[in-house]
Structure 1
Amino acid sequence: MSRVLEGQDWLTADATRAVMGALAAAGGADCARFVGGCVRNAVLGAPIDDVDIATVLTPEAVVRALKAAGLKSVPTGMEHGTVTAISERQPFEITTLRRDVSTDGRRATVAFTDDWAEDAARRDFRLNALYADSDGVILDPTGAGYDDALAGRIVFVGEPEQRIEEDYLRILRFYRFFAWYGRGAPDAAAVAACAALVEGVERLSAERVSKEVLKLLAAPDPRLAVRLMQDAGVLGRILPPSNSVTLFEAMVGVSPDPVLRLSALLPADVETVRASANRLRLSNAQKDRLIAAARAPLDPDMNDAQARAVIWREGRQAFEDRVRRAWAAGGEAARMQAFLALAADWTPPKLPVGGRDLARMGLKPGPETGRVLKAFEDGWIADDFPDHGHEARLKALIASPA
């Protein structure tokens, strides 16, 4: 009995039809199939982010086929068989069927093939080795991918050790896919293989590791996956030691933000956090958030004026991150929610005076200008940002030099 994807707008969209039609015109009706995440998520009724296509056509033939159909092509990875088609401003990644010739755990040398089973055999998990033709008819070369998807089983294609040794990133991908799609107990063979080959994680580039970890932490509930990573020794290979994952598990209930969840897996030590962010080559914005969240714990007993002072000095994002970290650490929910509401509703004002105001009052530019402005700022913040009395305050500060 054939299984068919139904009710999938992406499958019947004009942009998709144009790409599949271009490939079919060059290689026949069965020369291209949808593959991987779009098929898996369609089976599960989950959102479709990207539409990937596998084909027996060579990359050069794909480029020619797209050109003949008036579609733009981008040679995103020709040596690995990948061309990106642009149809109605939407990208479609098209990859020629492949088999591995050699691998070193990070990169593979591939040869193109026209054997769908051979292509499926080199993929990571059985639920990712699902294909569908242009009419949505599902093809399952491993014979178990469809059932795995429905059952929430994350099982390697073939021998787990072999798949991992081809690319050690698959260790992290196992935990990521388990976090997003897994249900019940994890596959024992996969768990054992990840633990046995854990040292391979250290051979991966920082960018690949951080990207995979943040995707994992963005899952609705990644707690069990992170526990499995800790038990297998994987967590300790990519992050500095922490006392436990207790704060992280509490943070999952407080915030869906993967950066904030990552902060909860790091020690509350600014220099350790800074070193970890640098090692993972996170963006400056992500690093700044992690460092800010690791500073001294937020005072849960501060009043609203003190809270506004923190927001003004550190920024709304840093304040909210510290509030959520304090909440996860056991802060009173009602008070933490009140802080978050305050941050959302209050717009920090700009400093109402500057050097020109002091110049008009006869103060020459120099160190004294900086002292007066700093003293004004401190007092203005301490008084909860009044919108009047600025000139009198400046005159008093000028009249009382340090």
Structure 2
Amino acid sequence: MKQHYDIVIIGGGMVGASLACSLLSVAEELDLNIAVVESTPLPAKGSLTYQPSYDARSTALAYGSRSIYEAMGVWDRLKKHVSPISDIHVSDKGRFGITRLNAQQEGVPALGYVVENQWLGHVLLEHLQQADQSNIDFICPAEVTNVRSGAEIMGVTVLYQEQSIELSCELVVMADGGRSSLRESMGVSYTQKAYDQHAIVTNISADQPNGGVAYERFTDSGPMALLPLNNDDGDNRSALVWTVPDDMIEELLGLDDQSFIERLHERFGYRAGNFIKVGQRSSYPLKLTLADEQVRRGLVVLGNAAHALHPIAGQGYNLALRGVAALADKLIQARKDKQNLGDLALLQTFYEQQRLDQTRTVVFSDQTMKLFSNHNPLLATGRSVALQLLDICPAAKTLFARSAMGLDIPAPKLK
């Protein structure tokens, strides 16, 4: 552990580890010293093992996120356990409108990928540990208890091995998740809107392979997504995200497995086959959360600590990853220009660049949720017509697909 770092990243989860990986290739060349402070223990070097679990939670990666991980140098390893999405099937229960997207028609190998969070975290940590360089230090298990602003240097207090340690740095990156108590203690306010819904998250198996098809199904009680998972174990698994009103959550979580599957078929149908096995179920309340202040002099707020979206269309993590790549590019260029990494003008430039992407993504997910939750018959007919028109208009479909895949955003350089 050093006393001074150029960057201190608070949180070593998927967002924080991705930022460290983004800077890894240039860290030695630019003499960039980085600390990652994480609350959970780090596996000993060389002891990282991957143990697949039927119940592992998953994340949908847009095709553009693949480009980011390719630029980091981790995609070749990551792709060994990802599930390509070859088709996306969007439908509205009880209505005629359907839209289908196909990777081959859009000229890409996949519209996106589904990766288990456990595998993604494993690959990111493995990549950082195998680098065998002294420019990145993991301080864990540890907790950041205080962050202080200075004219040029930030102060960071870390509780590590029951000792309070003082660090200094040019830039603090907060990537410690949506329940960041540190963010609140620093007076970083946020705007929050509850959807009065919960998401049920589980894995489910059918009596037939998923075929790489992802389903987005809108129902009168909320949207549901079924994402293909790899079939290495022959379980024909898919990841289910089922959105339900708050007053239904206890009932659905209390059902036995067979009753839960029956209720799922009532809402989803049989387009993916007969469901025969369901894994451990968990749930969380759905809110739209946006930090009102995402940059200060010497401070950047990233990932769920900056924005948490409705899971509809699966854009939350992809938005965060685009922010990671954009910040890394800005920091690399600033280092080459011998600029202080915590310079407010630099960080504001980064935020202004990301604000358009954030606004567009947030508005899309929020308005889509409102549109498909409205029970007005005329509006319901209108959205069915819109889905059908999108399905038969190749130009509009391609425009929509490229936006959903994140291909309308410039690819990162990371060098």
On whether the aligned pair clears a TM of 0.5, the verdict is no
* Larger relative contact order (Cα-Cα within 8 Å, sequence gap ≥ 6): 2
TM-score (norm 2): 0.20
Q: State the TM-score, normalizing by the size of structure 1.
A: 0.20
